Amino acid sequence: MCLMFAILVLLVFSTSSSYSISLAHSKIPRFGFSPTQLKNAHDALTQKVDKSDHEIFYFNQDLDHFTFTPKSYMTFQQRYAIDFKHWAGAKANAPILAFLGEEASLDHDLAVVGFLGDNGPRLKALLVYIEHRYYGKSMPFGSAEEALKNASTLGYLNSAQALADYAAILLHIKEKYSTKHSPIIVIGGSYGGMLAAWFRLKYPHIALGALASSAPLLYFEDTRPKFGYYYIVTKVIKETSERCYNTIRKSWKEIDRVAAKPNGLLILSQKFKTCSPLNESSDIKDFLGTIYAEAVQYNRDWVTNMCNAINADPPNRKNDLLDRIFAGVVALKRNQTCYGTNMLLQPTKNNIAWNEKNNHIAWSWQSCTEIVMPIGYDKQDTMFQPAPYNMSSFIEGCQSYYGVPPRPHWIMTYFGIQDIKLVLRRFGSNIISSNGLSDPYSVGGVLEDISDSVVAITTKNGSHCQDISLKSKEDPEWLVMQREKEIKVIESWISTYQKDLRDLNILT
Rg (CA), the chain: 23
Which of 62, 378, 439, 467 is catalytic? The answer is 439
Give Cα separations from 187 to 110, 140, 304, 338, 410 (angstroms): 13, 24, 31, 39, 23
Helix (H, G, I), strand (E, B) or coil at 416: coil
| C-alpha–C-alpha distance, residues 492 and 412, integer Å | 30
| C-alpha–C-alpha distance, residues 422 and 431, integer Å | 15
Q: Are 82 and 127 in contact (CB under 8 A)?
A: yes
**Per-residue b/e over 298-334, b at no fewer than 16 CB within 10 Å?**
bbbebbebbbebbeeeeeeeebebbebbbbbbebbbe
Q: What is the largest CA-CA distance in the chain?
A: 83
**What's the count of helices (H) and strands (E) in the chain, helices before strands?**
19, 10
The yes-or-no answer on residue 439 being catalytic is yes
Tell me which residue of 104, 126, 76, 59 sits closest to 363, measured CA to CA: 104
Give Cα separations from 102 to 109, 197, 369, 407 (angstroms): 9, 13, 16, 20
| C-alpha–C-alpha distance, residues 283 and 255, integer Å | 11
Tell me which residue of 194, 130, 140 sits closest to 168, measured CA to CA: 130
Q: Provide the residue count of the chain.
A: 508
Which of 442, 464, 467, 469 is catalytic? The answer is 464
| C-alpha–C-alpha distance, residues 411 and 12, integer Å | 17
Which of 190, 433, 434, 469 is catalytic? The answer is 190
Q: Which residues are catalytic?
A: 190, 439, 464
